[in-house]
């Protein structure tokens, strides 16, 4: 029976060494060339895979790409709001000088916070000697001219002032990781992205200023508040439009995933979009001493369209290579994978083989015992 176990283990060993047997668990069987050149691997489910080593040459190329100029979409910078047009539920203040009876209570001395004249759900408002006025779609100047024309029939050269007290018909929305999410009324005074965020109390400690989304007319734009922009082409120059939605991303949305032979596999949040490969490995507890392949540390990064997968390989057999790891800056959704060494894979194969071998041995032993017992009974 011992020979049986020996031959079964020998069979599985030969299968493993010949490549016909797959060790349980994930492993990456490729290595990048040390000069940093790119090797194209076989496509993976239709995606092209590129493998390159993390070396000074690679770091220089990546840093140049990361430091490329960031710009805001030209259509955002070119937008200029048209003259404000009144709409439903807007509140206006009408003051007729020297005629307080035609002005709401307290006349021209009331504060801007006092209640004015609200435009109703039909887009109209009532005013003495004028009656119901269709207001929706008119500018403030057009409303003033309408009232002046009506009052001129009963007053001699009326002096009238019309002001927008509260805008309710045109709004932008601020969402996400800000102190106070809500609506930002848009009036005849333009509002920029930065002003809208300030009115919302600013970005919360959990917010990521590098990832501010602006949705306009169904299209998504990304704005990085930490980047440097040319004069007149930054976030302070982007004026909001009715219906705009601003969203500040939360740091928890931007994580890197550390898998494989590390002390603690986990998803690590990136604080302000800053984390190096060495930092990620350190926060995951470092490499497993007994099972990790120090020559097999990988960063897997997919393109947005998932048609290209870039794999960066770090050979840390020499601890000095960790300097390159510290210079390699991770991006959100990167996957850090530490390969298993040969001994770890072998142990895992053996752990899968032994129960099967033991079952075969037990079954064979039981059959043999049954045959012996049957033989003894017959001869008895």
The b/e string for 272-297 (b: 16+ C-beta within 10 A; e otherwise) is ebebbbbbbbebbeebbeebbbbebb
Q: Is 375 contained in some domain?
A: no
CATH number of the domain that residue 220 is part of = 3.10.560.10
> Using an 8 Å Cβ cutoff, are 33 and 39 in contact?
yes
Residues of the chain predicted below pLDDT 50: 1, 4-8, 10-23, 26-27, 36, 105-109, 111, 346, 357
- Indicate whether 205 and 142 sit together in one domain: no
Of 150, 166, 182, the one marking the end of a domain is: 166
Of 252, 269, 292, the one marking the end of a domain is: 252
pLDDT score recorded for residue 93:
87
Q: Is 177 contained in some domain?
A: yes
- Indicate whether 183 and 113 sit together in one domain: no
Q: Is 379 contained in some domain?
A: no
- Indicate whether 214 and 293 sit together in one domain: no
CATH number of the domain that residue 149 is part of = 3.30.1950.10
What residue numbers bound the domain in which 40 lies? 26-62+254-342
pLDDT score recorded for residue 380:
59
> Which residues face 50 on adjacent strands?
40, 310
Tokens for 201? Answer: 């109390």
pLDDT score recorded for residue 17:
45
Of 166, 196, 212, the one marking the end of a domain is: 166
Q: Is 9 contained in some domain?
A: no
pLDDT score recorded for residue 210:
87
* The total number of structural domains that make up the chain: 3
Question: pLDDT digit string (tens) for 338-357?
Answer: 988 765 554 555 555 556 54
Nearest to 163 by CA among 241, 240, 235, 86: 86
Rounded (5°) CA angle 155-159-161: 130
- Indicate whether 120 and 162 sit together in one domain: yes
- Indicate whether 224 and 288 sit together in one domain: no
Three-state SS annotation for 274-333:
ECEHHHHHHHCCCECCCCEEEEEEEEEEECCCCCEEEEEEECCCCHHHHHHHHHCECCCC
- Indicate whether 51 and 30 sit together in one domain: yes
> Alpha-carbon distance 91 to 254, whole Å?
42
Query: Residue 185: enclosing H or E segment and its boundaries?
Result: strand 182-185
Question: pLDDT digit string (tens) for 289-313?
Answer: 888 887 888 998 887 667 788 888 8
3-state secondary structure of 361: helix
> Alpha-carbon distance 280 to 257, whole Å?
9
Q: In what order do the strands lie in the sheet with 207-216?
A: 182-185, 171-176, 245-250, 207-216, 219-223
């Amino acid at each position: 029976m011992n020979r049986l176990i020996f031959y079964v283990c020998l069979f599985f060993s030969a299968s493993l060494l010949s490549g016909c047997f797959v060790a349980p668990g994930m492993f990456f069987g490729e290595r990048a060339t040390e000069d940093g050149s790119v090797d194209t691997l076989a496509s993976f489910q239709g995606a092209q895979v590129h493998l390159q080593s993390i070396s000074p040459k690679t770091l220089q190329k990546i840093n140049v790409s990361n430091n490329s100029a960031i710009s805001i979409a030209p259509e955002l910078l070119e937008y200029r709001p048209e003259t404000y047009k009144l709409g439903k539920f807007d509140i206006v203040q009408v003051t007729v000088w020297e005629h307080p009876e035609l002005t709401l209570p307290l006349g021209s001395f009331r504060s801007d916070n006092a209640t004015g004249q609200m435009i109703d759900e039909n887009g109209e408002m009532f005013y003495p000697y004028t009656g119901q006025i269709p207001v929706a779609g008119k500018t403030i100047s057009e409303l003033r001219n309408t009232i002046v024309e009506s009052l001129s029939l009963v007053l001699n050269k009326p002096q009238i002032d019309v002001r927008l007290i509260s805008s309710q018909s045109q709004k932008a929305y601020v969402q996400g990781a800000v102190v106070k999410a809500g609506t930002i009324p848009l009036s005849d005074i333009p509002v920029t992205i930065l002003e809208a965020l300030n009115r919302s109390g600013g970005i919360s400690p959990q917010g990521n200023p590098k990832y501010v989304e602006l949705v306009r007319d169904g299209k998504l734009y990304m704005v990085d508040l930490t980047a440097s922009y040319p004069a007149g082409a930054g976030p302070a120059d982007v004026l909001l439009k009715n219906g705009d939605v601003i969203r500040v991303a939360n740091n928890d949305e931007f994580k890197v995933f550390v898998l494989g032979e590390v002390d603690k596999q986990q998803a690590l949040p990136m604080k302000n979009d800053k984390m190096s490969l060495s930092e990620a490995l350190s926060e995951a507890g470092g490499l497993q001493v007994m099972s990790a392949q120090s020559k097999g540390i990988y960063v897997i990064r997919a393109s947005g369209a998932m048609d290209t997968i870039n794999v960066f390989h770090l050979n840390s057999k020499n601890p000095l290579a960790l300097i390159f790891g510290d210079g390699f800056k991770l991006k959100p959704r990167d996957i850090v994978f530490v390969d298993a060494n040969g001994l770890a894979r072998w142990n895992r194969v053996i752990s899968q083989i032994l129960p099967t071998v033991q079952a075969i041995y037990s079954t064979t032993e039981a059959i043999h015992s049954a045959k012996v017992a049957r033989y003894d009974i017959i001869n008895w």
